[in-house]
């Protein structure tokens, strides 16, 4: 993971705050029956979230969150044994049939660099931040970093922004989005990855509201895709 171990960040003397999660993450691509080719799933299980992401046809990317020691054991299994363990973790309607690549497990952490720039150096993607993979928000956040940097570079090229002002403007514009997403993903993991009787009614209420409100689903999807700040009034 060269992003999170960025030599440019270290050379610039930019600090990084990190808090490890008790969970790890396992990623693998599989052939899967029982889901439409354009349908994604986010399963909230006691051991952690489990994302099922379509790649086209019957190919899916799985992002399995659970205690890291358990995931390390799973990645060492033979393909048939791994598919059996995977089938037991998925809902009955989702049937894994074949491994398309090698399972890989790695630790998870909430990480944030401070500040996002120093002199002409700016941090983008996982050099600047890491979140829990719930909802795929880490990848979306990285793409929005790139989008913002590209828009500012276009302003410099057009003569509308002095080059020396680009790093500071990039950092100011990215901070709100990054902080809100890190807080939101951390809250989702804490709320949905435990069996506290105090949180169960809140979880049922939230999932029920999403199930019955198309407007709320569109709002959540917009926040996940465009970033929560884009939905706030100017």
Number of domains comprising the chain: 2
Last residue of a domain, one of 77, 107, 137: 107
Beta bridge partners of 128: none
In this prediction, residue 5 carries a pLDDT of: 80
Assign residue 173 the CATH number of its domain. 3.50.50.60
Listed residue (28, 25, 30, 131) closest to 72, CA to CA = 25
Give the pair of three-digit tokens for residue 79. Answer: 């393909």
pTM value is 0.81
| Cα–Cα distance for residue pair 67/24, rounded to 1 Å | 5
In this prediction, residue 195 carries a pLDDT of: 67
Residue 113 lies in a domain: yes
- Domain limits for position 192: 109-231
**Is the pLDDT confidence value at 144 over 80?**
yes
Residue 45 lies in a domain: yes
Q: How confident is the model at residue 221 (pLDDT cuts 50, 70, 90)?
A: low
**Is the pLDDT confidence value at 42 over 90?**
no
């Amino acid at each position: 993971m060269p992003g999170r171990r960025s030599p440019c960040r270290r050379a610039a003397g930019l600090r990084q705050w990190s808090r490890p999660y008790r969970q790890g993450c396992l990623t693998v691509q599989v052939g899967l029956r029982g889901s439409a080719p354009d349908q994604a799933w986010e399963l909230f299980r006691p051991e952690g979230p489990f994302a099922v992401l379509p790649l086209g046809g019957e190919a899916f990317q799985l992002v399995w969150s659970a205690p890291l020691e358990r995931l390390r054991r799973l990645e060492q299994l033979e393909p048939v044994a791994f598919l059996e363990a995977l089938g037991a973790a998925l809902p009955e309607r989702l049937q894994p049939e074949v491994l398309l690549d090698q399972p890989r497990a790695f630790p998870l952490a909430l990480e944030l660099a401070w500040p996002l720039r120093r002199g002409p150096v700016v941090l983008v993607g996982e050099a600047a931040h890491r979140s829990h993979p719930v909802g795929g928000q880490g990848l979306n956040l990285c793409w929005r970093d790139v989008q913002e940097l590209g828009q500012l570079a276009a302003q410099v090229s057009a003569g509308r922004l002095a080059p020396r002002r680009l790093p500071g403007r990039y950092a100011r514009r990215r901070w709100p989005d990054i902080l809100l997403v890190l807080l939101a993903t951390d809250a989702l993991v804490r709320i949905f990855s435990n069996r506290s009787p105090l949180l169960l009614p809140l979880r049922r209420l939230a999932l029920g509201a999403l199930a019955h409100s198309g407007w709320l689903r569109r709002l959540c999807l917009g926040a996940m895709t465009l970033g929560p700040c884009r939905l706030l009034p100017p």
